[in-house]
Amino acid sequence: MSEKLNQLKEILGEVSDLNHAASVLGWDQQVNMPPAGGEARGQHLATLGKISHQKSTADEVGKLLDDLKQEFTGSDSDDAALVRVAARDYDKATRVPSEFVAEQAVVTSAAFEAWVEAKGKSDFSIFRPHLEKVMDLVHKYVSYFPPTEHPYDVLLDDFEPGMKTSEVKEIFDALRPQQVKLIKDIRSAKQVKADFLHKKYNEKKVWDFSEAISAKFGYDFGRGRQDKAAHPFETSFSVNDVRITNRFEPDSPLSTLFSGMHESGHAMYEQGINPAYDRTPLAHGVSSAVHESQSRLWENIVGRSLPFWEHFLPELKKTFPSQLDGVSAKAFYKAINKVEPSLIRVNADEATYNLHIMLRLELEIGMLEGKVAIKDLPEIWNAKMQEYVGITPPNDAQGVLQDIHWSSGLFGYFPTYALGNLVSAQLWEKINKDIRDLDEQIRKGKFDALLGWLREKVHVHGHKFDPQDLIQKVTGSKINSAAYVRYLTKKYSEIYSL
Amino acid sequence: MSEKLNQLKEILGEVSDLNHAASVLGWDQQVNMPPAGGEARGQHLATLGKISHQKSTADEVGKLLDDLKQEFTGSDSDDAALVRVAARDYDKATRVPSEFVAEQAVVTSAAFEAWVEAKGKSDFSIFRPHLEKVMDLVHKYVSYFPPTEHPYDVLLDDFEPGMKTSEVKEIFDALRPQQVKLIKDIRSAKQVKADFLHKKYNEKKVWDFSEAISAKFGYDFGRGRQDKAAHPFETSFSVNDVRITNRFEPDSPLSTLFSGMHESGHAMYEQGINPAYDRTPLAHGVSSAVHESQSRLWENIVGRSLPFWEHFLPELKKTFPSQLDGVSAKAFYKAINKVEPSLIRVNADEATYNLHIMLRLELEIGMLEGKVAIKDLPEIWNAKMQEYVGITPPNDAQGVLQDIHWSSGLFGYFPTYALGNLVSAQLWEKINKDIRDLDEQIRKGKFDALLGWLREKVHVHGHKFDPQDLIQKVTGSKINSAAYVRYLTKKYSEIYSL
């Protein structure tokens, strides 16, 4: 039997190599590639995707898995988990033809290039025909699966295994009134001052400061690097090569610091996975929501806390003395948590962030149900932004074109951002029971106990457990909004004296 | 029959995609990758190499080629050339097992990392065990082929199809006494002044100047880019994404300019290939010597000429006024062509360069014949350097560890550098017959007629013709040293008043 397991691991190892090679090509496309190279790159990725798909859906794999599933029934070993995850992946992948995967790679590669251009020129019409093609593929993809409660379940399951659209709606429905009430209370409270965040800051110095924070957190630059890209993201080629990207926006210069913390959170997860899982389907974060819980924990719960800035502000003030002259840690803390209607999701404050997600979820479901036409997307986007957040984007670049996801065919992904926020708060409540003086440690710029806890409880396990099981195991309950509402209420009551 | 051709093209297209993906991974390894990522990268490359090899050696390919060879006999169409080149590649590749290719990728990936470290620490002992493994693989590789006049023929043929070791020796034998005499004459002549080349030059400004020259030559940065790496090289992922690397050496700051021209020469060749050859075996330069003829033509014949610096020196002096104060174009021209014993091949002057190649060829043949033990390599290297060039390297970094080639398993490659020099002079004599006022154009900083000529006569054809046939067709004779000797003699007689 161990021979069959070795055969399976050999094939999965090659699939992993092909997928990691594709990740390198994808990273290069966004960080380095001259745009003229896009068409050929699309073909390279199509071929890698096709071969990876052929290998992972070969009959041989199915036969090996059938035998191994019986062998490992009831075991909780790493190998049993590997067989279970591989069997689920196999079942999904065998429903999707190789030709579809190849076509998708070509279409999304071109769509990505078009999105970059469209965003640069703030012109949705450049992106529209590409998004229509992407959407056709999304419909085709869903059609390969047996009917579900809602067709969107098929898309969601790829990022949050086992989760249903109805469950997400239920969680969001419990959360929405609480956030709406909080925002309302804040609106009528005395506003905080944040003008010093929008002064002119030197790009290189901000960039260096961002890298210093990441290194202090425990992101290992010896096994990673940070580069510039149009959109911040994290990508992993092995546990020893986990990279992040970042950007600098002159209008919001310090957002680079928070993007850096966010992507470092993702990257530390990937760097912390058991190296024994290398080249297997266990060598990844368990789900998008759990991944996002890591990034949001470091970015928001740690990076937008008072103790954090009691440690880092003196250093930041040394770097930017004129911009931050006379600003106290408390004032800085309030400013970076200022609640206000904003256009860009990734820069949105914690009190409004989930509204951006709800907007996207509604549009995705609308497009999938055929109730939202792609040509009308900018108009509907802008109307919903006005309705939910209270402002209308002045152009498409700051509206419907702001996110990379649709250009890459990522539908079903957005809700996991909000779920990740909820999980981060669930984890945080538990961590603070286990590490009693955590605030004090953060105030001293010490993050090793925190990272150690996350490594042990979450990171090291990679994809071994199902996401809801892992969250239950670590925090005592499945994904829910209670902890997040407690966290938000406490934080903003303090900041706005509610 | 066209259906079979399409089937062949489809398979070769996938092979091309896999090889280009591997090139992206290789580029990234040398430009960006954190060293910790090396082991996993080796596995990625091993898997890509294995699959590419399996696909290109599949029985199906052999059958298609057998049928198509008959069909295309006597035709000089592009498709006929494609079938001919593919058949030769197939014959070679089917002799080498997939497992060998995978092993080679792993061994050379580790060897490359070791070489970087060894060179950094100037310690051959770090590299030695890796080079021994590489050499074992070279022996194994040769053993897969039928006996040749000399075992080295097998290695040479991979880079210079059809060329024999005995032919190279014959060409070198004709060349050696001429170069030796020239060097002797120069030694007894009045020496030129070049101290201003070794002053302190700002790295960024040199780098920018290098890119400005490349752009002026016609290297299209819209379809390429220049990055830093330990060793300058050119690599191509498609006709629309052809990249070069460069480096800055504080001891020889302006050598960056010449490395940049050199790699641009390679890159313009790849950027000029007929786009219709994309994803076929015709979409590459025809041989290493012809490739090198392009880089050396731009670097040496153009870039170290008087007319070139009559145009560029005023601008360079504006950038570096104090370093080049009072230096005339003539004086600068003499300085950059100063003949002197030097340690580093890529920085060697044209009069001594081929001696560096002869040293390497002798060592490679010695290692292959088992007459040179790898442990003795630094000692033998240093002794030969003393014998041929008149100086002994003070350390391994400037001696046996200076070149990347052996760490990548590139044996049989070095002689093509010298052959490339010869071809560059053969082409230059012909170009000057066709473009009568070329010197005058260069003096005005105009390179479009020159690049146009090279595109039309050489670049656009890619791998369509055999290298010796192409050279014969374009220049009227096969590779020989006559034009190069005329070029060298004229140039140095002028500089040293011989």
The pLDDT tens digits of the residues spanning A68-84 come to: 999 998 899 999 999 99
Interchain proximity A24–B25, CB inside 8 Å: yes
Pairwise CB contact (< 8 Å): A46 & B240: no
The predicted pLDDT at position B1 comes to: 57
B388 pLDDT higher than 90:
no
The shortest C-alpha distance from A13 to chain B (Å) reads 9
Best B20, B39, B47, B221 residue to mutate vs chain A (most A CBs within 10 Å): B47
| Mean pLDDT value across chain A | 95
What is the model's pLDDT at position A1?
Answer: 57
Residue B117's H or E segment, with its range, is helix B98-121
The region of weakest confidence among A433-442, B48-57, B293-302, B432-441 is B48-57
* Closest CA–CA distance from residue A213 to any residue of chain B (Å): 19
Cβ B449 vs Cβ B435: under 8 Å: yes
For residue A89, give its domain range: 2-147
What whole-number distance in Å separates Cα of residue B402 and Cα of residue B382?
12
Q: Phi and psi (nearest 5°) for B246? A: -150, 175
* Strands of the A226-228 sheet, one edge to the other: A226-228, A241-246, A234-238
For residue A237, the chain B residues in CB contact (below 8 A) are 37, 40-41, 44
Q: Please compute the mean of the pLDDT values over residues B276-289 and round it to a whole number.
A: 96
Q: How many residues does chain A have?
A: 498
Whether B160 is in a domain gets the answer no
Inter-chain residue contact B241 with A39, CB threshold 8 Å:
no
Chain segment A377-387, per-residue pLDDT in tens: 999 999 999 88
The candidate with the shortest Cα–Cα distance to B364, out of B152, B60, B162, B168, is: B152
What is the secondary structure of A193-231 as a DSSP string?
P-GGGGS---HHHHHHHHHHHHHHHT--GGG--EEE-SS
* Residue ending a domain, choose from A80, A114, A147: A147
Residue A400 falls inside a structural domain: no
Judged by CB atoms closer than 8 Å, whether chains meet at A224 and B51 is answered as: no
- Please answer yes or no on whether B237 and A40 come within 8 Å at the CB atom: yes
What phi, psi does A290 have (nearest 5°)?
-65, -40
Q: How far is A286 from chain B (nearest CA, A)?
A: 21
What's the pLDDT score for residue A426? 98
Mean pLDDT of the region A265-270: 98
Of B18, B36, B43, the CB nearest to A222: B36
Whether B396 and B118 have beta carbons less than 8 Å apart is answered as yes
Position A324 scores a pLDDT of 98
Residue B156 lies in a domain: no
Position A162 pLDDT exceeds 60 = yes
Residue of A12, A101, A240, A273 best to disrupt the B interface, most CBs of B under 10 A:
A240
Residues of A within 8 A of B14 (CB-CB) are 47, 50-51
Q: Any idea what the Cα angle at residue B153 is, between residues B150 and B159, rounded to 5°?
A: 165
pLDDT of B99 strictly over 90: no
Render B324-344 in DSSP notation, one character per residue: TTT--HHHHHHHHT-----S-
**Chain B residues touching residue A221 (CB < 8 angstroms):** 34
Chain A residues with CB-CB distance to B238 below 8 A: 37, 39-41
Same domain for B142 and B175: no
- Compute the Cα dihedral for B479, B480, B481, B486 and give only its sign: negative
Give how far B205 is from chain A: nearest CA, Å. Answer: 19
Pick from A34, A43, A222: which is nearest to B17 by CB? Answer: A43
Q: What residues pair up with A236 in beta bridges, in sequence order?
A: A242
Whole-angstrom Cα distance, residue A13 to residue B48? 12
Q: Give Cβ neighbours of residue A192 (< 8 Å, ≥ 6 apart).
A: A334, A335, A337, A338, A495, A496
Choice among A103, A167, A263, A299 that is catalytic: A263
- Which range of A34-38, A107-111, A219-223, B37-41 scores highest in mean pLDDT? It is A219-223
Residue B322 lies in a domain: yes
Instruction: Give me the pLDDT at residue B387, please.
Output: 83
Whether A112 and A182 map to the same domain: the answer is no
Chain B residues within 8 angstroms (CB to CB) of chain A: 13-14, 17-18, 20-22, 24-25, 28, 32-37, 39-41, 43-44, 46-48, 50-51, 221-225, 227, 237-241, 278-279
Q: Across residues B232-252, what is the average pLDDT?
A: 96
Torsion sign, CA atoms B191, B193, B195, B201:
negative
Least Cα separation, residue B262 to chain A (angstroms)? 21
pLDDT at site A179: 86
Residue of B nearest to A40 (CA): B238
What values do phi and psi take at B239, rounded to 5? -60, -20
pLDDT of residue A389: 82
Q: Is residue B155 part of a domain?
A: no
- Predicted confidence at residue B398, as pLDDT, reads 95
Asked whether residue B224 falls in the same domain as residue B350, the answer is yes
Going by pLDDT thresholds of 50, 70 and 90, the confidence category of residue A99 is confident
Domain boundary among A83, A113, A147: A147
Select the residue of A24, A40, A223 nearest B36 (Cβ to Cβ): A223
Q: Which residues of A428-464 are buried (b: 16+ CB within 10 A; e: fewer)?
A: bebbeeeeeebeebbbeeebeebbebbbebbbebbbb
**Average pLDDT of chain B?**
95
Question: Which residue among A14, A25, A238 places its CB closest to the CB of B21?
Answer: A25
- Please give the single-letter amino acid code of residue B111: A
Same domain, yes or no: A131 and A195: no
**Residue A397 neighbours by CB under 8 Å, 6+ apart:** A119, A120, A122
Residue B387 Cα to chain centre, angstroms: 25
Alpha helices in B370-447 (DSSP H): 377-388, 415-434, 438-443
Identify all chain B residues contacting A51, using CB atoms and an 8 Å cutoff: 14, 18, 51
Amino acid at A126: I
CB-based contact B13 A223, cutoff 8 Å: no
Nearest to B422 by CA among B361, B373, B467: B467
Decide if B152 is inside a domain.
Answer: no
Domain end point (choices A147, A182, A211)? A147
Mean pLDDT of all residues in B377-384? 96
In chain B, which residue's Cα lies nearest the Cα of A12?
Answer: B47
Residue A155 belongs to a domain: no
Q: Are A99 and A195 in a shared domain?
A: no
pLDDT computed for residue B79 by the predictor: 96
Contact (CB<8Å) A32/B225: yes
End-to-end CA gap in chain A: 63
HSE, CB side, 13 Å, CA atoms: give it for residue B39: 8
> How confident is residue A246, by pLDDT bands cut at 50, 70 and 90?
very high
* pLDDT value at B259 more than 90: yes
| Percentage of chain A exceeding pLDDT 70 | 100
Q: Which of B14, B36, B238 sits opposite A240 (nearest CB)?
A: B36
Residue A219, Cβ density class (10 Å: 0-12 exposed, 13-18 middle, ≥19 buried) = buried
Angstroms from B172 CA to nearest CA on chain A: 40
| Range in A1-5, B137-141, B251-255 the model is least confident about | A1-5
Q: Using a CB-CB distance cutoff of 8 angstroms, which residues of chain A are in contact with residue B44?
A: 17, 20-21, 24, 237
Please indicate, yes or no, whether residues B354 and B220 belong to a single structural domain of this protein: yes
Give the Cα separation of B30 and B35 in Å (integer).
Answer: 9
Q: CB–CB of A51 and B237 under 8 A?
A: no
Same domain for A219 and A109: no
Closest CA to A421 of A469, A355, A361: A355
Is residue B445, in this structure, part of any structural domain at all? Answer: yes
Q: How far is A155 from chain B (nearest CA, A)?
A: 29
What is the number of structural domains in chain B? 2
Beta-carbon contacts of A314 under 8 Å, excluding residues fewer than 6 positions away, are none
Q: Is the pLDDT of residue A187 over 60?
A: yes
> Is pLDDT of B276 > 90?
yes
Q: At what angle do helices A415-434 and A482-496 cross, to 10 degrees?
A: 80
Q: How far, in Å, CA of B202 to CA of B253, rounded? A: 8
- Contact B221/A34 with Cβ under 8 angstroms? yes
Evaluate if residue B25 carries a pLDDT over 90.
Answer: yes
Six-digit token string for B396 = 């391994």
Interchain CB distance below 8 Å, B223 and A36: yes
Please report residues of B whose CB lies closer than 8 A to that of A241.
Answer: 33-34, 36-37, 40-41
% chain A with pLDDT above 90: 88
Outline where A246-399 has alpha helix (H).
255-271, 288-296, 306-319, 329-336, 353-369, 377-388
Residue A314 burial (C-beta neighbours within 10 Å; 0-12, 13-18, 19+): exposed
Average pLDDT over residues A81-92: 96
Residue B325 belongs to domain with CATH number: 1.10.1370.30
Claim to verify: residue B214 and residue B79 sit in the same structural domain = no
Give the mutation candidate from B17, B20, B25, B53 for the A interface (greatest A CB count, under 10 A). Answer: B17
With CA atoms as reference, the chain A residue closest to B55 would be A51
Cβ-proximal residues to B309 (8 Å cutoff; 6+ apart), any chain: B329, B332, B333, B336
Q: Say whether pLDDT at B12 is over 70.
A: yes
Same domain, B103 and B184: no
- Asked if A14 and B51 come within 8 Å (Cβ–Cβ), the reply is yes
Q: Which residues of A touch B (CB under 8 A)?
A: 13-14, 17-18, 20-22, 24-25, 28, 32-37, 39-41, 43-44, 46-48, 50-51, 221-225, 227, 237-241, 278-279
The pLDDT score that the predictor gives to residue A47 is: 94
Could you give the residue numbers annotated as active site of B? 263
d(Cα A212, Cα A302) in Å, to the nearest integer?
Answer: 15
Chain A residues whose CB is inside 8 A of the B225 CB are 32, 34
Rg (CA), chain A: 22
CA dihedral A295, A300, A301, A304 (to 10 degrees): 140
Q: What is the CA radius of gyration of chain B?
A: 22
Average pLDDT over residues B96-110: 87
Q: What is the ipTM of this complex?
A: 0.90
Q: B226: which chain A residues are within 8 Å (Cβ-Cβ)?
A: none
By residue count, chain B amounts to 498
In a shared domain, residues B138 and B175: no
A272 with A228, same domain?
yes
Instruction: Decide if B28 and A24 are in contact by the 8 Å CB cutoff.
Output: yes
Do A412 and A303 belong to one domain? yes
- Render pLDDT for A278-333 as a digit per residue (tens, 0 to 9): 999 999 999 999 999 999 999 999 999 999 999 999 999 999 999 999 999 999 99
Helix (H), strand (E) at residue B244: strand B241-246
Shortest Cα distance, chain A CAs vs residue B14, angstroms: 6
CA gap A117, A125 in Å, rounded: 11
Minimum distance, in Å, between the CA of residue B153 and any CA atom of chain A:
33
Q: What residues of A are in contact with residue B22 (Cβ under 8 Å)? A: 21
